Structure 1
Amino acid sequence: MKSYDAIIIGSGPNGLAAALTMRKQGLTTLIIEGDSMIGGGMRTKELTIPGFKHDVCSAVHPFALESPFFRSNMVAEAGLEFISAGYQLAHPLDSGNTAILHKSLDRMYAELGPDAKVYKSLIQGLVENWYELSGDILGPLRIPKNPLLMAKFGLNALRRANTTANRFQTQEGRALWAGLVGHGLLPFSKIATSAIGLVLATLGHRSGWLIPKGGSQSIADAMLADYQNKAGECKINCWIDNLQDLPKHKILILDMTPQQILKLKGLNLTDKYRNALGDFKYGMGVFKIDWALSDPTPFLDKRCQQAATVHIGNTYEEIAHNELMTYKGKIVEKPFVLFSQPSMFDSLRAPEGKHTGWAYCHVPHGSTIDRTEAIENQIQRFAPGFKDTIIAKSSMNTLQMQAYNPNYVGGDISGGQMDIKQLFTRPTNSLTPYRTSNPNVYIASSSTPPGGGVHGMCGFHAARVAMKDHFNITLDFDFV
C-alpha cells in the first residue's frame, strides 16, 4: 500500500488549503472526503428545480481575494472568475431609507453623512493597511509584524459591538453596523464583537464581497484542479471512522471540529486534551432556504436588487434584541435575515429570465423549528410581492445542515463560538492550536484561528506548523 507524507481528512476550503500548501512544497499528500463532492461549505447544487443552481452554504465571498492564502493561490488558469455587484451590501429600513455599503470609501463617507467621521476613524486605516495586517488578523496570537498598526485595530476590535454602535448618530449608520456584526452569531454586548464588523466592512472596500461565477463550487473545483495539477491525490465517497483504515502516513491533518474528532477511533489523544476538546463551545445555528424565483426580488428600494448581500432586520435596536433572544434560546418573530441573490449578477445560476434566492436566519443551537414563514415574512416586509415570485424552495434546519456537513455542529456554520475565549486560541488554550496532543495529528478546520469564513487560512496555518515540525520546512507566516 502506498505511503504518504500527509493525509488530509475533509475537503472544505481549509482541508484543500492545507493539502495544496503541502503539495507545493513537494510532499506526497492524499485528501479523503466522505461526501460524493469536494468542497465542504463551497458546494453548488440544483436544490429546487433542474437548471437552478444554489450555493448550499457559502454564497458571497469577502475573503476571496483578500486572505493571504487566496491572494497567492487563486490562479486565473483554473478558470475561476469573481463577479462584483453594484453594491457590496444593502440594508433596508421600515422608514424607507436604505443603508448601503459602497466599495468606494469616498462614496461611503458621502452616504453616511454625520456618521462619516466615525466610520472613517474605524475603517480607513484598516482598508489602507489590510495587506500588512491580514496575516496577524487571520491567524493565531503572535507578536505582530507591525505592533502599532495591530494595536490600533485591536483597540477597536476588542470593543463590544453595542459600545461601537453608540458612536453612530444616524439610524442608517447604526443599522449598517448591526448587520455587519450580526455575522458573528453573538450578542452585541460580548467583548470583541466589533471585530467581525470591522473586518467585513474593510473587505467590502478592498476587493469587495465577491460572487464566484457559476457558484461557490467553482472555488473548490479551482483549488482541486491546482492541487491535482501538482500531482496531489484525492479520494471521495470515503468516510473514515477509524484511523486504522487509512493508508500509511507520517502526519494526519483533520478538517474537522472537536465533536467529530472525539468520535474518531485510533487518534491516541491524551485525556487532558480530549477534555479540552470536550469543553469547546459551539454557537447559534442557522435555518437556511433556497428559492427558485420567477422574477427579481421586488425590493421597495431598487438599489437592494444590485447588492451582493441584503441584510434584513430593520434597525440596530431590533436586530440587537432579536440576536440576543436567539442566543438565549428563544424563537423570535422577526429574525435577522441574510439574503443573497447571485442570479442578478451571474446568468449561469438560473434559466433565462428566472432567478435564485438564498437566505438564512440565526436560530438556537440545534433547533429544528421551521423558520420558513418568518424568513419569507421578513423579506416580504421590504419587498412586497416576494412570495408571489417563489416557484420552488428547499430548506435546511440545523440538524439537516449538520447531516449535510458534519462540521456544522448544531447548525453552527462558524466551527464554534467566536467569543473572546475562542477567537484566537481555539479549539484549545494554546498559542499553536493546530497541534493536538498526538504529535502526528493536526487540526485545520474553522475551529482553529482565524475561525469561520472561506479564506483557507486555518488550513494554511495547520500545514505550516506540521511541515516545520516534521519536515524542517519553514513558510512565512503571512504569505504562501
Structure 2
Amino acid sequence: MSTSPAAETDVVVVGSGPNGLAAAVTLARAGLAVHVLESQETIGGGARTLDLGLAPGIVHDLCSAVHPLALASPFFAEFDLAARGVRAIAPEASYAQPLDDTPAAIAWRDVERTADGLGADGPAWRALLGTLSRDQDLVVELALGDKRSVPSALLTPRTLRTAPLFGALVALQGTPAWDLPFRTERARALLTGVAAHAIGQLPSLALGATASLLGTIAHGVGWPIPVGGSQAIVDALVADLRAHGGTVTSGHHVRTWRDVPPARAVLLDIPAPAAADVLTNRLPRPLEAMLRRVPHGDGAAKVDFVLSGPVPWRDPDVGRAGTQHLGGTRAEMARTEAEVASGRFPDRPLTLVSDPAVVDPGRVRDGLRPLWAYAHAPAGDRTDPTERVTAQIERFAPGFRDLVVASRAVPAAEMIHHNPALVGGDISQGRVTMARMIARPTPLPDPYRLDRTGWYLCSSATPPGPGVHGMAGLHAASRVLRSEFGIRELPSLAPTPGRAQESSV
C-alpha cells in the first residue's frame, strides 16, 4: 500500500531496489524521516517475486532468484533476515556445471566433498577455495568495500594469509594463465561457470574476481534461496523501514529533479546515465558528462518456465544444486562470451538456471513448479531466447521439453520494461571490467555524492557493484548521514526487540 509523503522530509530515496531500501532503512534507523519513491507498481526492483499468470499459484522471481550475498554481506549479516522471519535455505550443492562427455562438476557446500569429486584437482581446489571459505568474512569485506577507503579487514593478522591468496586467485582466473593451477576440464569449467554471474569477456580480472568471491561463499554460507521467493527479502526491508517511520510510494515516476518532493537529501537508486538525466544542467558539467559516458554492459535475456516435474538432468547430482551453469567447457564459454561481446546472440548461449523447489517445496502447486533461467545476450538484443535456452537445458537434461507447460520470454531489449534499471538487459548497471568496478561510476574520490545540494547515487552503478547485498546503499547512506546531518556513527541494523512489524514478513 502506498503512502504519500509529507510536504517536506529529511530524505527521499528514488528506487526501491535492494540498495535503495538498504539506504532507506539505514537512514530511518538514524532517526530521519525517509520516503521512498518507486516508478513501478510493485516494490523491490531486481528482487521482486510476482505471479506472471502462467499457472495458478505459481510465482516467479523477476530478476534475482539465488542470493549468495544476501547472507554474506555485512549489511544483511547485521540486518539478520532470519530473525525477521525470512528463511533463506542454502542447498547442499551451491552450483553445478554439467558437461557433455564427462560427469558433471558439482560445487557442494562441503568443500571436502567438492574436492573429492574433482580428482586430480581436488587438492588445488581445497587449498584455494577451501582456505578462502574459512575466512569468508574477510573475503567479503575486501570485495564489498567502497573502493575508496582501506577495508578494516586489511588491518587484521588473518589478512596476511587471506588477501594475498584471494588476489592470487583473481589474478590467475582473470588472465591468460587462468588454466593454472587446475589441470582438469571439470575444475576449470566449474570455476568459469561462477564467473558467468558477471557478463563480460573471459578471461578478465573482473570476472575472475566474481568467480573468486562467489566461489568462496559457495563453501561458506552457501548460495541461499529465500523461501517464497526474493520478495521475502524486500518485504523484510520494507517492514523495517515502516517500523521506523519511513514511507513508500509506488507508481511515482521521477524523470527530472522536479518530480522529487523537497528534501534535505535525495538518493538515486538508478543507473548512472539516468541520474544525469534527472539532474540535467544541475550537475557540474564534467561530472554530468562522465555519468552519461558510463557504458552499459551486455545483457541477460530471461525465460520463466512452468514445468510439470523436476528437470531431468542426465546427472542426477546436478538437480541437487540450487543453480546450474550451462555453458559446457571453459573454452566453449569463452567463445560464447566473445560472440556476445561482438553483438551476436550465440546458438548455445551461456545460460544460468535455478529451480527454487529444490529447497522450497512450497513453490510446487498441483504438481507444477517454476523454473528460472537467463541467457547472456548482446546489449539491446531483441531475439526471443526461448528456443535457445530450451535447447541448452535439453542438451544436459534430455526430455526437458516434454515437461514445459508454459513459458514467458523477455528479450534483453525488453528487460527495461519490468525494471527500468536494466537498460538493454544490463543487469550490472555498467560494463564489467576491473577498472569500471573500481572507478564506478567515475574515478572521483566520492563515487556516491553527485553535487553540493544533497543529491547522491546509491545504485549498483556505484561500488561495490552488482548483487543483492545492500552495500552500495549502506555506503551512500553513511555519507549522507555524515555530510548532510552531521551523524558520524551508523545506527544498528539489528532487529529491534518489541517491534512486531519486524518479526515476520
Q: Which amino acid aligns with 1:431?
A: P
Q: Which amino acid aligns with 2:141?
A: G
Q: Which residue of 2 aligns with 1:93?
A: 99
- How far is 1:390 from its partner? 0.5
Whether the 8 Å CA contact 1:78–1:225 is kept in 2: the answer is no
CA distance in 2, matches of 1:101, 1:385: 25
Q: Which residue of 2 aligns with 1:109?
A: 115
Provide Cα deviations, 1:189-225, integer angstroms capped at 9, x if missing partner.
3234310001111111111110100011111011101
CA distance in 1, matches of 2:73, 2:477: 16
Provide Cα deviations, 1:85-119, integer angstroms capped at 9, x if missing partner.
23111111111411000111211221222112322
CA distance in 2, matches of 1:112, 1:129: 22
**For structure 1, which segment, 245-254 or 113-122, has the greater mean C-alpha deviation from structure 2 after superposition?**
113-122
Provide Cα deviations, 1:63-92, integer angstroms capped at 9, x if missing partner.
121000000113445321112223111111
Does residue 157 of the first structure (1) align with residue 170 of the second (2)? yes
Whether the 8 Å CA contact 2:17–2:47 is kept in 1: the answer is yes
Whether the 8 Å CA contact 2:309–2:403 is kept in 1: the answer is yes
Q: Which amino acid aligns with 1:437?
A: D
Provide Cα deviations, 1:289-312, integer angstroms capped at 9, x if missing partner.
001111111111111121100111
- How far is 1:158 from its partner? 4.0
CA distance in 2, matches of 1:321, 1:389: 30
User: What is the CA RMSD across the aligned residues, in angstroms?
Assistant: 1.9
- How far is 1:439 from its partner? 4.2
Whether the 8 Å CA contact 1:68–1:479 is kept in 2: the answer is no
Instruction: Indicate the SS of the match to 1:387.
Output: helix
CA distance in 2, matches of 1:287, 1:30: 32
CA distance in 2, matches of 1:153, 1:231: 41
- How far is 1:157 from its partner? 2.1
**For structure 1, which segment, 203-212 or 433-442, has the greater mean C-alpha deviation from structure 2 after superposition?**
433-442
Task: Map 1:247-286 onto structure 2 (within 5 A).
Answer: 247-265=261-279, 268-286=282-300
Task: Map 1:335-346 onto structure 2 (within 5 A).
Answer: 335-346=349-360
The alignment's TM-score, normalised by the length of structure 2, stands at: 0.91
**For structure 1, which segment, 11-20 or 167-176, has the greater mean C-alpha deviation from structure 2 after superposition?**
167-176
Which residue, 360, 364, 376 being the options, matches 2:390?
376
Q: Which residue of 2 aligns with 1:51?
A: 57
CA distance in 2, matches of 1:76, 1:158: 35
CA distance in 2, matches of 1:342, 1:75: 18
Which residue, 317, 320, 331 being the options, matches 2:334?
320
Q: Which residue of 1 aligns with 2:32?
A: 27
Task: Map 1:69-468 onto structure 2 (within 5 A).
Answer: 69-141=75-147, 142-147=149-154, 148=160, 149-159=162-172, 160=174, 162-265=176-279, 268-468=282-482
Q: Which residue of 1 aligns with 2:16?
A: 11
Whether the 8 Å CA contact 1:366–1:411 is kept in 2: the answer is yes
Q: Which amino acid aligns with 1:19?
A: A
How many residue pairs get matched?
A: 480
CA distance in 1, matches of 2:146, 2:170: 15
Whether the 8 Å CA contact 1:244–1:266 is kept in 2: the answer is no
CA distance in 2, matches of 1:11, 1:352: 33
Q: Which amino acid aligns with 1:3?
A: E
Matched residues, percent identical? Answer: 35
Which residue, 60, 66, 73 being the options, matches 2:66?
60
Whether the 8 Å CA contact 1:161–1:192 is kept in 2: the answer is no
Unaligned runs of 5+ residues in structure 2 are 1-5, 155-159, 495-505
Instruction: Indicate the SS of the match to 2:468.
Output: coil
Instruction: Indicate the SS of the match to 2:392.
Output: helix
